[in-house]
Amino acid sequence: MKRKTKKKDDKNTKKYTDEELNLLSYKLAIKYDKRTYFQYYGSLLKTKHNFIFTFCNSNDYNSKLIKIDLFFISFIIYISVNALFYDDDTMHQIYKTKGKFDIEYQIPKILYSSLISIALNTLLKILALSNNDIIKFKQNKIKEDIENRKKKLINKLKMKFILYFFISFLVLLFLGYYICIFCSIYNNTQFHLLKDTIISFCLSLFYPLIIYLLPGLFRIPSLSNPKNKREYMYKFSKVLQIL
């Protein structure tokens, strides 16, 4: 009997994507989410980590082409935002150090540029990704008027994609022009700009590896014993997922 129940739970778990499992209500998570801490941690990386989400996660409701496009646009945004921080003080510092890369001086600028770039990329993701809209559609179990809701979803996604490609085209056009002008005027700072960009971009790929260790510390214990209701821990873990 227990084996049959376990097989049934495994089947129900498989029908959900990682994102769907992570967004389940507490009652449904107790019933269907049987993952270990590291399986849950891996699911967060697959759905949140920029590189893993783009190239290693095909089990979602997003367009692969758009995800790859977003990844490369995000790198261009990092270059451009880093370039914006090159003011007279930065140029003077480069002159003082005779062109040597001063990591201590650059760290605050790298951190600020990383935060701004993450914010801009998040705004683009809202338009580019269809996963959450489709999950909401699936979670609505009301069978009435399903065709009408389906049409509305398709129209909404079409509008989002059109807006995304239009805005991303303008962003690429403007930022590409800005980077070309910057590099032609400040020819000797190209190496510094590239280094700043690589550091800030790598930082954005590294911090999720640490941050997403936290949600599982609350989620897994909250689901481990259904008799002891720990919904507050579960809800807190879902807040940490957003980071």
Reply yes or no on whether the pLDDT at 33 is more than 50: yes
Environment class of residue 31 by beta-carbon count within 10 Å: exposed (0-12), middle (13-18) or buried (19+)?
middle
Higher per-residue confidence, 111 vs 61: 61
Reply yes or no on whether the pLDDT at 215 is more than 90: yes
CA 223, distance to chain mean position in Å, is 25
Average pLDDT over residues 207-214: 93
Q: What is the pLDDT of residues 120-140, one digit of tens each?
A: 898 999 999 999 999 888 888
Spatial separation of the C-alpha atoms in residues 215 and 225, rounded to whole Å: 17
Reply yes or no on whether the pLDDT at 8 is more than 80: no
Which of 153, 137, 135 has the alpha carbon at shortest distance from 22?
Answer: 135
Percent of the chain residues topping a pLDDT of 70: 89
Reply yes or no on whether the pLDDT at 15 is more than 90: no
Residue 1: pLDDT band (50, 70, 90) is: very low
Environment class of residue 93 by beta-carbon count within 10 Å: exposed (0-12), middle (13-18) or buried (19+)?
middle
Spatial separation of the C-alpha atoms in residues 102 and 91, rounded to whole Å: 12
Residue 151: pLDDT band (50, 70, 90) is: very high
Reply yes or no on whether the pLDDT at 220 is more than 60: yes
Higher per-residue confidence, 175 vs 109: 175
Whole-angstrom CA distances from 225 to 33, 34, 52, 105, 221 are 12, 12, 31, 50, 7
**Phi, psi of 71, rounded to the nearest 5 degrees:** -60, -45
- Dihedral sign of CA atoms 27, 33, 35, 39 in order: negative
* The pLDDT of residue 110: 80
Higher per-residue confidence, 7 vs 106: 106
CA 25, distance to chain mean position in Å, is 21
* The pLDDT of residue 98: 65
The whole model's pTM is what? 0.83
Residue partners of 228: CB distance under 8 A and separation at least 6: none
